[in-house]
Amino acid sequence: MTFSKELQKLKEYKCDSRCVLSVYLNTNAADPEQQNGAWRIHLKTGLKRIHEYLEASNDEKELKAYKKLRDKVTKEIETNQGDFNKGVVIFASEDPELWSVHYVQVQVKNSFHWEDHPVTEEMEYMLKAYPEAGIVLPSFGEVRILDTAMGFITGERSYGFDSGLDVWKENNRVKSSLQTGTGEGNSDGLDQRLKENLQRFYKEMGVIVERIRKERDWKELYVVGEAEHANSFAKTLRTKPNNSIYKNLINVQADKVLHQVFEK
């Protein structure tokens, strides 16, 4: 499910009384205010304030439901602190059941909410700033495709081109992959037939990219590669890319490619 679709489902969620715990937690180790595990203090303080408010309300049933979710959220965050990026966003409820966890690569402002619905405004702002987007890296031997949202790699695939056999096949890549591709070749001096084969390969990949764009509901698309390859590939697309970036990043780690595209 895409972030946009999940966000829409969250916005439609509603319970009869307050039953949803929404947590936004800044876990960015590069933030000067987050040194020495400051997230633990913010988490404890934010959850304690809600607990004190509910104690004062004298609603035992609501307090019991909150305690259960508070403990579940705390355990989730503490267990997965090794997977921290810049922030954690969690929406949780028992009845009806809701458990939506996101370790995001986007700056998060600490906030904690106990309402009858998920508090999604900050999530909506984050998705608007870092929408679902595709990054395509064309080269002589490979076309690499990154599926991204919220400043995070949600999927990756690669298609290699065998110039000798004039065929292509999908390679295996993993999310946030550390693997490298087939490498950047030099197309200068290629004979005309080889150039035509490469262009045909790009056209076929262009069709695949357009299909993925529709399936994943990309709001933006970026083409990254040496100028000759980037421009040739961009021409195969029905919709003009948001930007073409003339850098050879075919063998660069996915998260570093993301940084080059969005955080220049």
What whole-number distance in Å separates Cα of residue 242 and Cα of residue 222? 6
> Per residue in 86-114, pLDDT tens?
899 999 999 889 999 998 888 899 999 99
Question: At 112, is the secondary structure helix, strand, or coil?
Answer: strand
CA distance 172 to 155: 12
Give the mean model confidence (pLDDT) for residues 132-152. 92
Q: Scanning the structure block, which residue is given the tokens 């999604």?
A: 120
pLDDT, residue 74, reads 97
Average confidence score pLDDT of the chain: 87
Which pLDDT value is given to residue 223? Answer: 97
Res 174: pLDDT: 39
Q: Report the DSSP beta bridge partners of residue 144.
A: 137, 158
CA distance 140 to 189: 13
Go through 225-252 and write b for each residue having 16 or more CB atoms within 10 A of its CB, e for each that does not: bbeebbebbbebbeeebeebbeeebbbb
Residue range 193-235, pLDDT digits in tens: 778 888 899 999 999 999 999 999 999 999 999 999 999 999 9
> What does the pLDDT read at residue 158?
94
For 228-259, what is each residue's pLDDT tens digit?
Answer: 999 999 999 998 999 999 999 999 999 899 88
- Pair 151, 258: CB distance under 8 Å: yes
C-alpha–C-alpha distance, residues 214 and 167, integer Å? 25
Residue 142 has pLDDT above 60, yes or no: yes
Per-residue pLDDT, 133: 95
Per cent of the chain over pLDDT 90 is 63
Could you please report the per-residue DSSP string of 198-246? HHHHHHHHHHHHHHHHHHHT-SEEEEES-HHHHHHHHTT-SS--SEEE-
CA distance 129 to 106: 9
> Which of 35-39, 72-76, 167-171 is predicted least confidently?
167-171
Q: Is 191 helix (H, G, I), strand (E, B) or coil?
A: coil
Q: How far is CA 241 from the centre of its chain?
A: 19
Rg (Cα) of the chain, in Å, rounded? 23
What per-residue confidence (pLDDT) applies to 264?
A: 55
- Bigger pLDDT: 177 vs 13: 13
Question: What pLDDT score was predicted for residue 167?
Answer: 53
Q: What is the pLDDT of residues 157-166, one digit of tens each?
A: 999 886 655 5
Closest CA to 5 of 209, 219, 207: 219
Tell me the two tokens of residue 133. Answer: 């987007």
Using CA atoms, how far apart are residues 163 and 198, in angstroms rounded to an integer?
7
